[in-house]
Amino acid sequence: MIKLTEIDVNLLVVFDLLHQEKNTRRVAERLGVTQPAVSHALKRLRALLNDELFERTSEGLMPTALAMRLHSPVADCLAKLQETLNRPDEFDPEVSDRTFNIAMTDIGEIFFLPRLLKRLANEAPGISLSTVRSHNVNLKQDMEKGKVDLAIGLIPQLGAGFYQQRLFVQRYVCLMRKDHPLSSSDFELDDFMGAKHAVVVAKGTGHGVVEEQLARAGIVRPVRLKLPHFAAVPYIVSDSDLVVTVTDKLAMATQDRFGLKIHEHPVPFPEIPINMFWHRRFHQDAGNRWMRSLIFEMFSE
């Protein structure tokens, strides 16, 4: 039995062309090789299949019975292989029912998802989204395996093997209810230090920089509530006298709905780069490219 590992695909290409042209010189011209190279390939095929395959006649090289029987399935396989290797972009968002898994924080969900879902409902109604929390080595592995399509945020651990694209930068601001006793003030550092605070300790994200920066500056303020995530912040702040340090994107996305007031932060913080990441294995994936392009178009600044 002949094994596929014993076959050079180029030999099958020569076989197909010889069946068409019935002449080694014309086959050599079509392939851009020498005539002896075609003859050598035919010799290898004859040895492999234990058949002459083509016999010289007054009309040129004519296929043997075996060659005639083999040609149609070989030609079909070559055509399918050619089509597969030169596949068209098969992703059509209008009819796709693909689910995209995107790693993002709860801030990302609040900021990105409402607008993104509205756009998808109009342009790609069958597409679904699933957000995931996946940190450090797990995120790397999940993206490498294709379990997570994209990641958005400040994610310094995604380095080698990943592409990234800047969407925007975020600033930190202070958020409080509109009728907070300090809402109409200039909100200086003394006001900040005297106010009661809620603090978000979001492990696995870059937001730990807030507490680190305040500690380095020796700034102490009374903390009345600690939370592991940002999603509950607008609800709590809107109905209390607590002040919270959040990103400007979260503040702008929630201020009108919850009746909140944004103040510039009295402590200078570095801006936060928010990037979109994807693994290089899926750089050419048509669906991944489409979703990346859509997110960049909608949210890049």
Convert the pLDDT of each residue in 28-71 to its tens digit: 998 899 999 989 988 998 988 899 988 988 888 899 999 899 89
The CATH number that applies at residue 19 is: 1.10.10.10
Q: What is the mean pLDDT of residues 165-173?
A: 93
Same-domain pairing of 156 and 215? no
d(CA 135, CA 97) in angstroms, rounded, equals 27
pLDDT at 261: 94
Last residue of a domain, one of 85, 116, 137: 85
| CA separation for the pair 136, 158 (Å, rounded) | 8
DSSP string of 217-228? TT----EEEEES
pLDDT tens digits for range 274-286: 999 999 888 889 9
Rounded distance, CA 36 to CA 25, Å?
9
Label residue 215 by pLDDT band (50, 70, 90): confident
Q: Is residue 113 part of a domain?
A: yes
Is residue 177 one of the residues assigned to a domain?
yes
Same domain, 110 and 246: no
Element (H, E) at 111: helix 106-123
Residue span of the structural domain in which 20 resides: 4-85
Would the pLDDT of 122 be above 90? Answer: yes
pLDDT band at 184 (very low <50, low <70, confident <90, very high): confident
One domain, residues 141 and 185: no
Choose the final residue of a domain: 85, 107, 140: 85
> Does the pLDDT of residue 136 top 60, yes or no?
no
Tell me: do 69 and 21 sit in the same domain.
yes
Q: What is the pLDDT of residues 243-276, one digit of tens each?
A: 999 999 999 999 999 999 999 999 888 888 899 9
Q: Is residue 128 part of a domain?
A: yes
Q: Is the residue at 16 inside a domain? A: yes
Question: What percentage of the chain reaches a pLDDT higher than 70?
Answer: 95
CATH number of the structural domain spanning residue 230: 3.40.190.10
Answer whether residue 35 is part of any domain: yes
pLDDT of residue 183: 85
245 and 104 in a common domain: no
Specify whether 183 is located in the same domain as 48: no
Same domain? For 185 and 265 the reply is: yes
Question: Is residue 172 predicted with pLDDT exceeding 60?
Answer: yes
Cβ atoms of 276 and 168 within 8 Å: the answer is no
User: Which residues make beta-bridge pairs with 54?
Assistant: 63
Residue that finishes a domain, picked among 60, 85, 110:
85
What pTM did the predictor assign? Answer: 0.69
User: Is there a domain that residue 200 lies in?
Assistant: yes
Is 54 part of a structural domain of the chain?
yes
Highest mean pLDDT: which of 20-24, 111-115, 227-231? 111-115
In this structure, are residues 151 and 103 in contact, taking their beta carbons and an 8 Å threshold? Answer: yes
d(CA 208, CA 270): 12
Please provide residue 164's backbone torsions phi and psi, each rounded to the nearest 5 degrees. -145, 155
Task: Indicate the number of domains in the chain.
Answer: 3
